[in-house]
């Protein structure tokens, strides 16, 4: 009888430990389709470092045309690498409610042009941010997440209107194009996402 109890106990321990191993996930990879609304694409990665703590990186790329008319076109390209830290409040897996910090390193190039004139701007910026969100999963490991947050750019680099050629300085289409580029060039930043991914 003691041998039976001992074997059953060992079996229970094995099942419990195996189940825990299956339930504990160490990494997550996901995409952020919401960025496509803003002519962008993003891929995110997270790795467990200690209990409820995860670190990772988001990589985002945007290729935008904020304004276009018959005579004036604009172009904006953005590439950012975003190291981050997430803390999952109720889970040691990247699931459920979480809070986090991000540090966005961003390169942006912008251009306004017509058939004869062009001005350009390039900048590198750094934007720390705070966020919180929630991630769901199913039994197969597929995930759906949502998050929001806010941050602040450390540098502000407006377009230099002194660079405008005298022939277009008072052109209403050029002024409108410049205003479109400046519209979202705020010191404050917004963080938002709807993510799809896989835990492994």
Instruction: Read off the CATH number of the domain in which 31 is found.
Output: 2.40.160.20
How far apart CA 97 and CA 118 sit, in angstroms, is 47
For residue 14, being part of any structural domain is answered with no
For residue 92, being part of any structural domain is answered with yes
pLDDT given at position 10? 40
For residue 5, being part of any structural domain is answered with no
For residue 6, being part of any structural domain is answered with no
Does pTM top 0.85 for this prediction?
A: no
Tokens of 141: 């490991």
For residue 157, being part of any structural domain is answered with yes
For residue 38, being part of any structural domain is answered with yes
Neighbours of 82 (CB within 10 A): 19
Number of separate domains in the chain: 1
| Better-scored residue on pLDDT, 31 or 19 | 31
For residue 130, being part of any structural domain is answered with yes
**Which residues form the domain of 65?**
26-199
**Least reliable range by pLDDT among 4-8, 29-33, 95-99:** 4-8
Q: Choose among 28, 26, 7, 16: nearest CA to 197.
A: 28
Tokens of 19: 């189940």
DSSP states of 22-62 as a string? Answer: HH---EEEEE-GGGGGGTEEEEEEEEEEETTEEEEEEEEEE
For residue 82, being part of any structural domain is answered with yes
């Amino acid at each position: 009888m003691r041998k039976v109890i001992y074997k059953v106990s060992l079996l229970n321990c094995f099942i419990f430990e195996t189940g825990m191993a299956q339930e504990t996930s160490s990494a997550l990879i996901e995409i952020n389709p919401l960025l496509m609304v803003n002519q962008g694409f993003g891929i995110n990665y997270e790795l467990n470092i200690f209990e409820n703590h995860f670190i990772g990186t988001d990589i985002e790329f945007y290729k935008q045309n904020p304004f276009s008319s018959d005579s004036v076109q604009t172009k904006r390209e953005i590439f950012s690498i975003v190291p981050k830290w997430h803390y999952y409040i109720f889970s040691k897996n990247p699931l459920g409610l979480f809070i986090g910090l991000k540090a966005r390193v961003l390169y942006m190039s912008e251009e306004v042009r017509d058939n004869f004139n062009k001005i350009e701007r390039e900048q590198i910026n750094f934007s720390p941010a705070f966020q919180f969100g929630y991630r769901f999963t199913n039994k197969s490991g597929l995930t759906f997440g949502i998050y929001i947050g806010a941050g602040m750019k450390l540098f502000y680099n407006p377009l230099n209107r002194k660079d405008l050629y005298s022939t277009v300085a008072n052109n209403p289409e050029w002024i409108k194009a410049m205003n479109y580029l400046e519209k979202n060039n705020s010191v404050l930043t917004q963080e938002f996402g709807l993510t799809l991914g896989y835990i492994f």
